[in-house]
Structure 1
Amino acid sequence: MSLISHPRIQLSYRLLLAIGGGFCLSILATATLPVLLVLFGADKAGAFVWLMLLSFVWYSLIILWVISTRRLARTSVILLLLSAGLYLSLVYTAPPADLRTKAEQTR
């Protein structure tokens, strides 16, 4: 019996992935999607509030999905790719910090 197939280790990894991975993914989605919605003309504050409320639903669904899945490795890769995609979109859609300070200085 290998170490990864031990039931206690699988359960621990599943719980860690559900709690930690679900939290990271829901926070990244909550931070990224309002920025993307602003690009399409939505109100940033309203979008953030609605997505903050939806983050509780996303987090719960991610936990249920990770606990109920049979293929834990595939689920881990999917969560990692979704988190990486949201992080990259957050980094590359946010305006640089020096542009924000220059705009504030001209006021």
Structure 2
Amino acid sequence: MLDLLRHGSTFVHRPVHALPESHTWAHVPGVTLLGDAAHLMPPLGAGANLAMVEGAELAEAVAAASGSAELDEAVRVFEERMWARAGQWAGITEAGLRRLVSPDPAEALALFDEVQPA
């Protein structure tokens, strides 16, 4: 791998962007966010899976609501569940990213015990 990086094609630095683990927003009736728009995190697979779960949960909440007030409350409750779950996974993926890019192998191994999914 090192030979590939040293002698292969030109390396292009691609920064990894992520929102803070505790990212939330004030509820706005009729609007919400899903997936990366709601909880951008390191690209370790959790964000895409969360987006699919959230889409299904939000669809169920919308389908079960019988009026605009009930719909607004269902979306607000959905957002709170999403934030809690996304915050947990944001922490896990951030620790995973630190393990993957650590220049010290011993430090990287020690980080494996740092965060465990619930």
Task: Name the TM-score, length of structure 1 as normaliser.
Answer: 0.40
Task: Name the TM-score, length of structure 2 as normaliser.
Answer: 0.37
Higher RCO (Cα < 8 Å, 6 or more apart): 1
Structure holding more helix per residue: 1
